């Protein structure tokens, strides 16, 4: 089958059937300023030339010692994870519509769902979504559909949610008559300011987003926030780091009854950074909400002979069936990433995940202890943190980051663009991959940069 199946004759026949003189006329509804125009592509290359070019491009990468996080985390991935994931049975598998031919793929997805439901202590998990940001957008839309008692379509969105996530949510739901209300944070602790909820008490709120951990790496008062949501008739949406759940109370146990929906990005579970992706989003919920859960869901059943088997279930909600009435228009699942995450979680087990999370936390404690001992460095927030923290220096953050990069260190994430009120603040992340020597080197380089400022 050719890559582009439509011949010139096919196109002429189509245009004639439509009564349209040209392809240009067919798309005249699209404003000219929104069209990309002709692509400025270089001449075609032979396979050997492409290989040579890509090797040269790859050689331009600089191996930096990574202390950056902000939603992309460098964890150790056992070699077995991608050795198995890269097998042809998984690597090239597509959506398992035909259950009789897809039992292996379906079982992997079922095992993944079981693990995520256990990790979050929620009743049900879907088979993944595009990424963490879009999973939050989907959770917001799901909350509005689920909360039949609310008519406001108002969502409380803490400023401690990842700024990229907040932008994606606004892009996706902004044209759907939803109102996103930003909640401020306490500048001392780095948490949602409880007082900011009081003005919304007793009003019609559809949902409250609760990040754990939040963008600053700080632990939120999740029990208090979940109880407030329940008391005010709002759906509690937990936006969680799955690795942190190996140590922290899972969203299904927050407050008195737990969160209603849990979502986030599964990248920490065996997915390499890979220059920017791909990632995968996860979503779990209470059983009562399962008919509003977007994406695919794999169920376990038995055949006519009583043998166990796996199949896609509750498919009536999918876009390919319901179209305009579908619960989601992003009806893909990141099957390959989910396969890697499933193998990663199976290899490490609950105790292995706990050790990774604990070592990451201990390393972050060690780094912050070393940094705050440096003259000119201060910790910004007093709240407890997981494996990210915010510090501030007397020199511009951009100069610090550039100086660290020159010394072979990816120093963190500057916060000035999204949080100018924090001054020259840097969000730094430490996972289990960093050694004590790495941590001490980072602190020394910071001290050196400040002493020469």
Is 19 domain-assigned? no
b/e burial code for range 66-79 (CB count within 10 A of at least 16 → b): bbbbbbbbbbebee
CA distances from 78 to 105, 269, 335, 393 (A): 21, 11, 19, 36
Is 46 domain-assigned? no
How many CB atoms sit inside 10 A of residue 228's CB? 22
Selection from 388, 103, 48 nearest residue 219 by Cα: 388
pLDDT of 34: 86
Could you say which of 295, 314, 344 is where a domain stops?
Answer: 344
Statement to judge: residues 146 and 234 lie in one domain: yes
Rounded distance between C-alpha atoms, residue 353 and residue 246, angstroms:
6
Statement to judge: residues 414 and 272 lie in one domain: no
Statement to judge: residues 430 and 305 lie in one domain: no
Is 330 domain-assigned? yes
Rounded distance between C-alpha atoms, residue 424 and residue 344, angstroms:
37
Statement to judge: residues 116 and 262 lie in one domain: yes
Q: What is the pLDDT along the chain (453 residues), one digit of tens a residue?
A: 456 778 899 999 999 999 999 988 888 889 988 888 778 888 999 999 999 999 999 999 888 999 999 999 999 999 999 999 999 888 877 777 788 888 889 999 999 999 999 999 999 999 999 999 999 999 999 999 999 999 999 999 999 999 999 999 999 998 888 999 999 999 999 999 888 899 999 999 999 999 999 999 999 999 999 999 999 999 999 999 999 999 999 999 999 999 999 999 999 999 999 877 889 999 999 999 998 998 888 999 998 899 999 998 886 555 556 666 777 766 666 889 999 999 999 999 999 999 999 999 999 999 999 999 999 999 999 989 999 999 999 999 999 999 999 999 999 999 999 999 999 999 999 999 999 999 999 999 999 999 875
Is 54 domain-assigned? no
Is 412 domain-assigned? yes
Statement to judge: residues 245 and 375 lie in one domain: no
pLDDT of 61: 86
Q: Residue 232 is part of a domain; what is its CATH number?
A: 3.40.640.10
Statement to judge: residues 236 and 374 lie in one domain: no
Statement to judge: residues 148 and 94 lie in one domain: yes
pLDDT of 421: 95
pLDDT of 1: 44
Is 27 domain-assigned? no
Rounded distance between C-alpha atoms, residue 126 and residue 115, angstroms:
11
Statement to judge: residues 301 and 425 lie in one domain: no
Statement to judge: residues 263 and 169 lie in one domain: yes
Statement to judge: residues 314 and 236 lie in one domain: yes
Rounded distance between C-alpha atoms, residue 368 and residue 374, angstroms:
10
Statement to judge: residues 315 and 387 lie in one domain: no
Range of the domain at 215: 79-344
Is 258 domain-assigned? yes
Q: Please name the residue that has the structure tokens 């999918």.
A: 318
Is 9 domain-assigned? no
Could you say which of 318, 344, 370 is where a domain stops?
Answer: 344
- The model carries a pTM of 0.90
Statement to judge: residues 107 and 190 lie in one domain: yes
Q: Residue 372 is part of a domain; what is its CATH number?
A: 3.90.1150.10
Query: Based on the structure, what is the number of domains in the chain?
Result: 2
Could you say which of 293, 311, 344 is where a domain stops?
Answer: 344
Within 13 A of 139's CA, how many CA atoms are on the CB side?
Answer: 41
pLDDT of 83: 96
Cβ(258)–Cβ(252) below 8 Å = yes
């Amino acid at each position: 089958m050719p890559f582009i199946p439509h011949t010139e004759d096919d196109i002429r026949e189509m245009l004639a059937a439509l009564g349209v003189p040209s392809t240009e006329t067919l798309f005249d509804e699209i404003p000219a300023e929104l069209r990309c125009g002709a692509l400025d592509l270089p001449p075609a290359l032979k396979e050997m030339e492409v290989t040579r070019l890509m090797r040269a491009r790859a050689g331009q990468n600089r191996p930096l010692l990574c202390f950056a996080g902000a939603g992309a985390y460098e964890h150790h991935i056992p070699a077995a994870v991608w050795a198995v994931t890269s097998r042809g049975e998984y690597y090239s598998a597509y959506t398992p519509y035909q259950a009789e031919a897809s039992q292996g793929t379906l079982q992997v997805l079922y095992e993944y769902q079981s693990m995520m439901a256990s990790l979050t202590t929620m009743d049900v998990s879907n088979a993944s979504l595009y990424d963490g940001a879009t999973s939050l957008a989907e959770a917001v839309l799901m909350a509005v559909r689920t909360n039949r008692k609310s008519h406001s379509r108002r969502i409380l969105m803490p400023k401690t949610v990842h700024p990229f996530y907040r932008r994606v949510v606004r892009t996706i739901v902004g044209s759907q008559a939803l109102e996103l209300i930003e909640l401020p944070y306490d500048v001392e602790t780095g948490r949602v300011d409880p007082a900011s909820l009081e003005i919304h008490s007793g009003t019609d709120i559809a949902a409250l987003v609760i990040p754990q951990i939040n963008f600053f790496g700080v632990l939120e008062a999740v029990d208090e926030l979940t109880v407030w949501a329940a008391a005010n008739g709002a759906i509690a949406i937990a936006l969680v780091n799955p690795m942190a759940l190996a140590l922290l109370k899972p969203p299904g146990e927050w407050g008195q009854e737990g969160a209603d929906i849990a979502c986030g990005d599964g990248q920490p579970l065996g997915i390499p950074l890979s220059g920017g992706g791909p990632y995968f989003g996860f979503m779990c919920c209470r059983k009562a909400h399962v008919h509003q859960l977007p994406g695919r869901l794999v169920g376990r059943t038995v055949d006519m002979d009583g043998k166990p088997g796996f199949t896609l279930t509750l498919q009536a909600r999918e876009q390919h069936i319901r179209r305009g009435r579908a619960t989601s228009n992003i009806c893909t699942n990141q099957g390959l990433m989910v396969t890697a995450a499933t193998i990663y979680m199976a290899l490490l087990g609950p105790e292995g995940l706990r050790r990774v999370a604990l070592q990451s936390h201990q390393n972050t404690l060690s780094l912050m202890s070393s940094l705050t001992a440096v003259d000119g460095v201060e910790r910004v927030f007093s709240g407890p943190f997981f494996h990210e923290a915010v510090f501030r220096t007397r020199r511009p953050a951009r100069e610090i980051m550039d100086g660290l990069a020159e010394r072979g260190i990816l120093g963190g994430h500057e916060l000035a663009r999204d949080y100018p009120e924090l001054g020259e603040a840097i969000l730094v992340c430490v996972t289990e991959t960093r050694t004590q020597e790495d941590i001490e080197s980072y602190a020394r380089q910071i001290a050196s940069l400040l002493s020469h400022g």
